[in-house]
Structure 1
Amino acid sequence: MRRPRRAETLLCAALLTASAACGSRLPESAFREGTRPVAEPVKVGIIASATSPVGGDAFTGPGEGARAWFDVLNARGGLGGRPVEVVDCDDGGSGIGNNACVRRLLDEEKVFALVATTSLSYAGAPRVSRAGVPDIGGQPIGTAYDTYPHLYGIYGSQAPRDGKAPGWGGTLYGGIEVYRYFKREQGARSAAVVSYNQAASAGYARQIIQGLRAEGYEVVPEQVDFALPNFRAVAADLKARGTDLVFDALDTHGNARLCEAMDAAGVRVTAKVTNVQNWDDRVPSDFKDAPGCRNSLWVTGSSRNHADAADPAVAEFRAALAGKVLSQWQLEGWAAAMWFTDAARSCLPELTRPCVERFMGRPEPYTARGLLLPASFVPSPAPPPPGAERRTCLSVARWQDGMGWVTQGGDMTRTCFEVPQLPHRP
């Protein structure tokens, strides 16, 4: 049975004594003693490539974190008494599937917003933007969150986002703080970058290589076939070259196979640096056959280590997902749902999309109670001038058996560097 909207409920209640013809009036059960109308829910959609070719659970973490937040929120009364109803859609990791999810959520489910989108191919982004549906806290796997209005990635963006091209006329900019950190704190001077011969992986690897070279590293690019990766050959080359660091643009499965090959070949590095997608507590099982490489795993990101249980905001996240294998992407999905909630609360009692977007576009950076490095969406009309530097911070953690992910370098808000912003074309 369709739940009556609040406006219809009030109108019908006023007309009941004068007419029996109010077609949307409450059912008779609503007048029985002890029953009350249920507030209309706020619908949000979560799109994830849950069954993508990359792996069954590679993209599910943000959605898990967001749903956990909304469960807690609903237990506390929801948004001004309105529960949040989550509608999931698995796009299968394809552009066709993504477009189908967008059509279903926008046209059939009539969601108010999207939250924590995690799509391998966000083909439906133009449709979301044209519809004016806020998409809050999505993972920027592609360039959509630096291209389209109404889309707000979890890390913020200063790009114009006019829908014409990513960034500034097709050029994006990124800092080299990660490479500066390992150079200054670990004394690293050489690095290998391992990627698949797949567009997203190869593009990310090129960006890493550019940043490493700008920081003065000797760089060894290594690429493997996506379908039949030969990690043994990569490991043999790493051993012959004696590189200090290994960066990757791989999924968790690929990382584990690379580590196994490195251990088998006797490769020892200062740090095997992976990305936020692989920052989870499955390390003991995923890397069970690579103990040496496993204890060389480092990760960097823009959110507080999900293992920092002493932090109150992290502790709340961990309590809400107790019993699950935790990950950084879950924490970022939790933060995305929090961001939507704070934006929606700023609008109550009249929740509208323009009001939510005014909150998202405000000049004050957002930190999700300290879970995120400050993020905002104030556009810069011009790109950074050549040679311009920017203060950029990062979160750093290292895996240690028996201790898990241990934060390195102190608090992420103080692990900061003045670094140039390098252009790259995705």
Structure 2
Amino acid sequence: MPESPSRPVADGVLAPLPRWLRRTVAYGIAALVAAAVVAVVTVALLRVGVVAFALLAALLLTALLAPVATGLRRLGLPRAVAALAALLLLLGVPVGIGWLLYSRVMVQLEAVGPAVTAGLDRIREWLVTGPLGVDPARIDELRTSAFDAARAALPSPVAGTTTALHVLTGLLLVVFAVFFLAKDGDAMWRWFLSWVPEERRARVDGGGRLAWSTVTAYVRGTVLVALGDAVGIGLGLLVLGVPLWLSLALLTFVSAFVPIVGATIAGAAAVLVTLVTNGATDALLVLGLVLLVQQLEGNLLQPLVMSGVVKLHPLVTVSAVTVGTLLLGIAGAVLAVPVVAVGYRLVSYLAGRDHAPDDTDDERGGPDDPEGAASRRAPAEEPGPAILRGSPARR
């Protein structure tokens, strides 16, 4: 009598259980394994937090600079020269803005100082004599506590030096990585794909192109949204004659890279500065302006620019920003949403609910890939798209 095929021990143990319970156990084990993998990867990244953040920031900046490098290559510049020119542009813009702000702030501080002092005195008088009737001693106690907390939050000389060295190391690594990603990103991707088995290469290729298109669209969309917020709020502050309006507009632009939370912080700073310098009436006007700009952003600009890119519920966005902030501070707050967005798109792609970007243009070389034909003529051991150059080509 032939022996019946042996069943796995797990099947024999779970066979008496209902089918729904077996499925629950299987999914539970899979979830535990996935959580363990995520925990190990997170701990490993936190161990090398400077390197991990620098590489992720370099990817975001490369996505932002890709059109510049591509346009320069179209003009006939070599790849290295185009990448270097894009990198110099990346470094020059914040340096120029910083110098402009520094020069303006230094000039305005002398005039703003007395106004700030008078504004604080008006607020203190309103708190004491107004409807709140706060005890003056309580106000002095709160002010002293705030100064003590700020002083305690300052790092020691040794800790400050260490932090400065880490920041400098991270910035140098970002600059180094951006240059080579802009110059050789497509070759790096083809080299990576050459290690993927042939039968899975197209699947990995599609996932990589989808991830890169998500990052690229997110970064460019965020820049457009941040620019719209900064221009709207900056013009309103300028019309109201608020000192340091340019600095507040720049703060609005930078804060927009932290979704939802950043806009709230920047708006609160604008209202507070206006209250101290211009008074309560202008502060209320600025509050209305901030709310109007945020409503236009949330209901018009965000859906128009980010449609189909970041398919995340606001609760997921806030949770991601919170977790990122707890793990990596400001860096985690900035990187949380693009990382979660890419992960969601990849899971949807693997589940068959999403598809890789259309590469119709790449069949003709692509609008962002002037060397697409050369890329497709690459040797068999280096297949794949120019994924870090804008519009990747399918093998």
TM-score by length of 1: 0.28
Higher RCO structure, 1 or 2 (CA under 8 Å, sep 6+): 2
Larger radius of gyration: 2
TM-score by length of 2: 0.30
